[in-house]
Amino acid sequence: MGSLLSLPVIISALELGFIYALVALALFLSYSILNIADLSTDGCFTLGCAVGAQVVIMGHPVLALFAAMLAGVCSGYIMALLQTKLGVESILAGIIVNTGLYTVNLAVMGFSSNLSIFKSDTIYSLFKDVLGNTSYKLVVSIVIVLIACAVMAWFLGTRLGLSIRATGDNSDMVKASSINPGFTITVGLCISGSLTALSGCLIGQYQKSCDINLGTGMVTIALASLIIGETLVGKSSVFRRIVGVIVGSCLYRFAIAVALRLHIPAECLKLVSAVIVAVAIASPYLKSQVAFQRRKMAAVSGGKGGDGAC
């Protein structure tokens, strides 16, 4: 283990794990709670990064976070508008918004495919002197993500949060409680968009650059984190599920870090991610299948003959 994961590798995996946990948290809201597959995540992530980078270049790294979140809200709002007012299916709405965002992102970046913010102060460099050289990025990321998680946990217990949870669970019942499901979907997607964009903004400031393809595959990675978390930590309460999101995201980053240490070439990383995602998503099902096969074997060998062995 020690040779596989050195301290700097662990720290950087945790840093990325926490930052990307925000996207997983966004999907927790849109996918797990609202039951909407939000495929605009990729574009929204890049949008957050691009908007954040531009504001950072203007010299406001803290304001950049809020600007990125606002941009994410807009993206989520358009996604919701397509679904609730124009009758577009959620998957199609996501694809449409994602496609449109590509141009929007390019425009935000001044029609160039990448943007460097090396010369500007970032939210991380602001705290470098206070927090020390080794862990300042980790501490800043953890603080921001924990705030986001705490707000989310609190929010889901409020009347509005309850309505959003019920919308994904039983929208008939939401209507019977005199709440417009279109409204709760809109609020949910706006919040989810803002979290995705916030994550993009943090990654941009972390890497000190923004690239038009930064968000590619983000939705798969976030889903994997979400499902790893749900499998390992469980989904019995909202609190557990939110903890699971962070745990899942960090574990995913560790898996990638291990893959890199095993000298898997960087070009193959997407394939590695895809395999990790597939394994993560399939594992709960496989687990139940293995348990079932065991029971079946036990029943067959314990019984009189091969009656049940078909």
Partner 1 sequence: MLRLVNVRKVFNAGTVNEKVALDGVSLTVNDGDFATIIGSNGAGKSTLFNCIGGSFYVDEGSVFLDDRNITYVPDYKRAVQIGRLFQDPMKGTAPHMTIEENLALAYLRVAKKKSVFSRISQAERNMFRERLALLDMGLEDRMKQPVGLLSGGQRQALTLLMATLIPPKILLLDEHTAALDPATADKVIELTKRVVQENHLACLMITHNMHSALEMGNRTLMMDSGRIVLDISGEERAGLTVDGLLEKFSAGAGRELDNDRILFSKIE
Q: Which of residues 180-209 bind partner 1 (CB under 8 A)?
A: 180-181
Cα separation, 232 vs 48, in Å, equals 30
- Which of 169, 270, 290, 308 forms a contact with partner 1 (CB under 8 A)? 169
Encoded amino acid at 37, one letter: A
Does 54 sit near partner 1 (CB under 8 A)? no
Does 239 sit near partner 1 (CB under 8 A)? no
DSSP per-residue letters across 35-53: ----TTHHHHHHHHHHHHH
Does 159 sit near partner 1 (CB under 8 A)? yes
Does 157 sit near partner 1 (CB under 8 A)? yes
- Which of 179, 246, 247, 257 forms a contact with partner 1 (CB under 8 A)? 179
DSSP per-residue letters across 91-112: HHHHHHHHHHHHHHHHHHTTS-
Tokens representing 256 are 């990638």
Does 177 sit near partner 1 (CB under 8 A)? yes
Does 83 sit near partner 1 (CB under 8 A)? no
| Residue (129 or 172) nearer to partner 1, CB | 172
Give the chain's end-to-end CA distance (angstroms, integer): 44
Longest CA–CA span in the chain (Å) reads 79
Cα separation, 241 vs 25, in Å, equals 9
Provide, rounded to whole angstroms, the least separation between the CB of residue 180 and partner 1: 5
Helix axes 136-155, 181-207, angle to 10 degrees: 180
- Which of 173, 268, 297, 298 forms a contact with partner 1 (CB under 8 A)? 173
- Which of 1, 2, 7, 178 forms a contact with partner 1 (CB under 8 A)? 178
Contacts with partner 1, residue ranges (CB under 8 A):
155, 157-160, 162-163, 165-166, 169-170, 172-181
